[in-house]
Amino acid sequence: MTNRKSWRLGVVLPLLAAPTLAFAAEAPTLNMANTAWMLISSVLVLFMTIPGLALFYGGLVRTKNVLSILMQCFAITCMVSIIWVLFAYSLAFGDGNAWLGGMGKSLMAGVGVNTLKGDIPETVFAMFQMTFAIITPALIVGAFAERMKFSAMMLFSLFWLLLVYVPVCHWVWGDGWLQKLGVMDFAGGTVVHVNAGVAALVAALVLGKRKGFPETAMPPHNLTMTVIGACMLWVGWFGFNAGSALAANGTAGMTMLATHLGAAAGSLTWMFCEWIRFGKPSVLGIVTGMVAGLGTITPASGFVGPLGALVIGVSAGLVCFMATNYMKRSLHVDDSLDVFPVHGVGGVLGTTLTGVFAATTLGGVGFAEGMTMGKQVLTQITGVLVTAAWSGAVSYLLLKLIDAIVGLRVSIEHETEGLDTVLHNETGYNL
């Protein structure tokens, strides 16, 4: 009898425990490989802003303004980092509604050492997303370089982060309404590049041209610095795009390959366009083509194959080259460092083409659930238009408000003297 009872218990107890064991098996567990990759990716994306973007932009301005650019990138990095932890991360990725996250994760409330986001620590996810929030307003700096007050830049960057970047980030990546609509943006075509590009165009128009533009030549003062910064951007972009897979897997591998091909194709296409039109290929042209290729492949990078990446890269080099020349030579818009024609136009192009080259027949991963190519392209265009409208309108209102409070531009005399001396009492070079 005792043996029979033991046999029954041996059968019944595992059956009773089965649901509990199944539930435990489904609970998320830490994946150390994915965590290691995301730690590296976070470092790579931060590396894109300081020193990458800082050096890239710093070399493009004139000698008297180089420190002002480095200072702006550095200050934005510090300010955004603190605001992100205080409450911006919660508004972007916390539990909320289709339009904005809640305040439940303010000051990283509920986020501890063992708290997971998927199978990686939420602290690592928050840090990774922080680096995106840092570089996006830093990109806009290139549009108003050499003429905006430092105080105005800080105010604009702060409120632009909260009123423009955070909502769009939530809409596209935080389970917001654009994500539910089916917009495909793997690493920031709308959230980063269209967003920053449109804000840059608005800023350039509101501030007006630099003294002497376009009659006076304003060549880069240190192309060596610019190329070094461009190389750092290229390497860092692997974390930007491949890191957005949030895992060390095949998607990250294909994303890295697509990113590299987009950069290479964009570089060579811009170089050949310049060679044909002006008779000589320039170093400035090839590195600008690289940035155009990277920005354009960004939204598509995790959804397309090598064929799509090559076509998108070539398209980026050609379209962004034409947009840059048209803005400067025909429209005479003084977007100092070509933020809109490179990032804005590239973001629009890449986000739209994602709806084409994500097709499985073209080597992609397929469209959002229930989508055909036509519906996906229309959905992509909707994401672009909504982002551009929101960024443009709010950026304009912010600039006008800040102008009324502290003023946007330095005086003509201070612009002539240079922002390094006037705003920071320093010079970039003592030769």
pLDDT per position as a tens digit, 352-371: 999 999 999 999 999 999 99
Single-letter amino acid code for the residue at 416 = T
Rg, Å, the chain Cα set: 24
Residue 395 belongs to some domain of the structure: yes
Q: Would you put residue 424 in left (φ > 0), alpha (ψ -120 to 50) or beta? A: alpha
Predicted pLDDT of residue 26: 66
Residue 219 belongs to some domain of the structure: yes
pLDDT digits (tens, 9 = 90+) for 255-265: 999 999 999 99
Residue 193 belongs to some domain of the structure: yes
Say which residue, 19 or 227, is predicted with more confidence.
227
3-state secondary structure of 43: helix
Predicted pLDDT of residue 15: 40
Q: Which of 403, 372, 292, 408 is nearest to 340 (CA)?
A: 292
Residue 100 belongs to some domain of the structure: yes
Residue 187 belongs to some domain of the structure: yes
Split at pLDDT 50, 70, 90, the class of 27 is: confident
The predicted model gives 144-167 an average pLDDT of: 98
Backbone angles phi, psi at 369, to 5 degrees: -55, 130
Average pLDDT of every residue of the chain? 93
The predicted model gives 103-117 an average pLDDT of: 95
Q: How far apart are CA 33 and CA 30, in angstroms?
A: 9
Are the C-beta atoms of residues 383 and 172 closer than 8 Å to each other? yes
pLDDT digits (tens, 9 = 90+) for 228-258: 999 999 999 999 999 999 999 999 999 999 9
The predicted model gives 269-287 an average pLDDT of: 97
How many separate domains does the chain show?
Answer: 1
The predicted model gives 405-420 an average pLDDT of: 96
The predicted model gives 368-395 an average pLDDT of: 97
Residue 47 belongs to some domain of the structure: yes
Residue 290 has pLDDT above 80, yes or no: yes
Predicted pLDDT of residue 21: 42
Predicted pLDDT of residue 28: 82
Residue 81 has pLDDT above 70, yes or no: yes
Contacts of 52 (CB under 8 A, 6+ apart): 229, 230, 232, 233, 236
Token pair 């998320």 in the structure block, residue:
28
Give the chain's length: 431
Predicted pLDDT of residue 10: 46
The predicted model gives 336-350 an average pLDDT of: 97
Residue 181 has pLDDT above 60, yes or no: yes
Q: How far apart are CA 161 and CA 143, in angstroms?
A: 16
Predicted pLDDT of residue 431: 75
Residue 431 belongs to some domain of the structure: no
| Residue-range definition of the domain harbouring residue 372 | 29-424
Q: How far apart are CA 42 and CA 108, in angstroms?
A: 18
Two structure tokens written together for 305: 């194959």
Residue 22 belongs to some domain of the structure: no
Q: How far apart are CA 323 and CA 49, in angstroms?
A: 24
CATH of the domain at 67: 1.10.3430.10
SS (H, E, C) 58-92: HHHCCHHHHHHHHHHHHHHHHHHHHHHHHHHHHHH
Split at pLDDT 50, 70, 90, the class of 168 is: very high
